[in-house]
Amino acid sequence: MARVLVVDDDPDVRTLVELKLRLEGLEVVSVASGEEALAMLSVESFDLVVLDLMMPGIDGIEVCRRIRERPETADLPVIMLTARAQETDVERGLTVGATDYVTKPFSPRELMLRVRGALRRAGVATGS
């Protein structure tokens, strides 16, 4: 079963994404901050990260940059899920190493299609 780390400081968004991923048969761990995400990634293995861009403390850009710096997570797919929708924001997210970029408000179905696609491209079996 593919494991996904969801990182978002908004508990409603985190719960929605977590529920949808679980309904799709994925194992999900969710955290509310960039600091928690980096700590979790240093001790557990994941197949994909769904990452909010705007969070207090360590933001999603910095989390993604650190993911790409570590050899153990350098190839980990990262989907940024954020309200920042301007072209410069998308460019910044993709430049720092995001695999994909989804803007809020988002379609849960579209997010799942993008998650499945990222996992497939990474060679991770999802069971469906």
Q: What is the mean pLDDT of residues 74-78?
A: 96
What are the structure tokens assigned to 22, written together? 């679980």
Q: Kindly state the percentage of the chain with pLDDT values over 70.
A: 98
pLDDT digits (tens, 9 = 90+) for 106-117: 899 999 999 999
The Cβ-side half-sphere exposure at 98, using a 13 Å CA radius, reads 24
Burial 107-126 (b: 16+ CB within 10 A, else e): eeeebbebbbebbeeeebeb
pLDDT given for residue 52 in this prediction: 94
Mean pLDDT of the chain: 92
The CATH code of domain 3-121 reads 3.40.50.2300
* Domain map (residue ranges) of the chain: 3-121
| Interatomic CA distance for residues 15 and 89, integer angstroms | 24
pLDDT given for residue 88 in this prediction: 82
Q: pLDDT class for 118, splitting at 50, 70, 90?
A: very high
pLDDT given for residue 127 in this prediction: 60
Q: What is the mean pLDDT of residues 75-102?
A: 87
